[in-house]
DNA sequence: ACAAAAGATACTAATATGGTATCATTACTC
DNA sequence: GAGTAATGATACCATATTAGTATCTTTTGT
């Protein structure tokens, strides 16, 4: 039960760092600060800019900036980018086999728990991480 | 974010079924009822009996029974067996690199969410699943 | 022109998950 | 006490996900 994976984690930290800087930030700088493998960091940042979380600048003295205000970026969006559908517990028994699906208690309880977690994740913004 | 994996899911359903029966239950019966691959089901049941959740009976007319009352078996125990340490979010940055670890806000928030989920899981017993 | 940045894309490695296969052991039944 | 129907133990295989590399292209400031 790993809530967030490594790339999400790195992405969040990179975003937080960028949020605190005034100027554009290069991969080189992020690699230095976070101690993450460079090509991996690059890939992550490229994804983030493709997904309109970051804005990128090419060429010499290029780099990355936030595209949105830190108040407008939430953990769950980033998780969604790197971990796909942060989705409700799928039932593994096929539809026609699960005895009382729709009323399945297990399913219901798991869904409740996941909804709680998702609700919390939806509320945590980059701004709230950077402030603390 | 899959809260429970397939083997945990099957295990829980098997346990629930067994809980409702008076007599010992064979793999054959469970396979029929749940529609799960037989060798996989066997493996799962063997693990459960090794972990003292089930009691097994060898020989002809053998099978499985619960070893504990359904009130005494909790989802989280089963998750623990099949998913290992259902543990708190590990920080992926090495100790000496993470800028302000110990005070890391991200870490703290994730931990909170996971603790909530774990708390809920700790309270769901087989008895409560079977009743519903 | 050149150097230093990001963009794009394809590939590889490691780990976790979801299974199979097979042989040994036990115990009821005849 | 032999046969059969159950579980025990163990080793192996397949697939998916995660983590990471490699390489070549494009852009742009100097």
Residues B35-59, mean pLDDT to the nearest whole number? 97
Residues B22-39, mean pLDDT to the nearest whole number? 96
User: What pLDDT, in 10s, does the model give residues A12-70?
Assistant: 999 999 999 999 999 999 999 999 999 999 999 999 999 999 999 999 999 999 999 99
Residue A49 lies in a domain: yes
- In percent, the amount of chain A with pLDDT more than 70 equals 91
Judging by beta carbons within 10 Å of its beta carbon (0-12, 13-18, 19+), is residue A119 exposed, middle or buried?
exposed
Tokens of A16: 């937080």
Number of domains forming the structure of chain A: 1
C-alpha A94 chain-centroid distance: 31
CATH number, domain containing residue B38: 1.10.10.10
- Beta-carbon count within 10 A of A61 CB: 8
Interface of B with A (CB under 8 A): 1-4, 6, 9-10, 12-13, 16, 33-36, 75, 79, 83, 86-87, 89-94, 97, 99, 103, 105-106, 108-110, 112-114, 116-117, 120-121, 124, 128-129, 131-132
Residue A1 lies in a domain: no
The residue behind tokens 């974010």 is B1
- Beta-carbon count within 10 A of A71 CB: 10
Residue A82 lies in a domain: yes
Confidence of residue A90 (pLDDT cuts 50, 70, 90): confident
Residue B120 lies in a domain: no
- The whole-angstrom separation of Cα B109 and Cα B67 is 38
Cβ–Cβ < 8 Å for B48, B54:
yes
What's the domain range around A39? 6-131
Q: What does pTM read for this prediction?
A: 0.92
Residue B101 lies in a domain: no
Residue B117 lies in a domain: no
Q: What average pLDDT does the structure give for chain A?
A: 92
Between CA A97 and C1' D22 the distance (Å) reads 47
- The whole-angstrom separation of Cα B112 and Cα B105 is 11
Residue B91 lies in a domain: no
| B129–A91 CB contact, under 8 Å | no
Residue A39 lies in a domain: yes
- The pair phi, psi for residue A116, each rounded to 5°, is -55, -50
- In percent, the amount of chain B with pLDDT more than 90 equals 77
| A120–B97 CB contact, under 8 Å | no
* Residues facing A63 on adjacent strands: A57
- Cβ-count burial A81-111 (b if 16+ within 10 Å, e if not): bbbeebeebebbbeeeebeeeeebebbebbe
């Amino acid at each position: 039960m790993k809530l967030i994976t490594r790339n999400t984690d790195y992405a969040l930290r990179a975003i937080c760092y960028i949020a605190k800087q005034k100027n554009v930030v290069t991969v080189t700088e992020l690699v230095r600060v976070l101690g993450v493998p460079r090509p991996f960091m690059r890939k992550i940042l490229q994804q983030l800019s493709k997904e309109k979380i970051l804005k990128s600048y090419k060429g010499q003295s290029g780099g990355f900036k936030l595209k949105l205000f830190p108040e407008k970026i939430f953990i769950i969006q980033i998780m969604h980018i790197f971990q796909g559908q942060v989705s409700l517990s799928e039932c593994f028994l096929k539809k026609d086999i699960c005895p009382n699906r729709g009323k399945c208690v297990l399913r219901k309880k798991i869904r409740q728990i996941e909804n709680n977690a998702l609700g919390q994740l939806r509320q945590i913004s980059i701004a709230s991480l950077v402030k603390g």
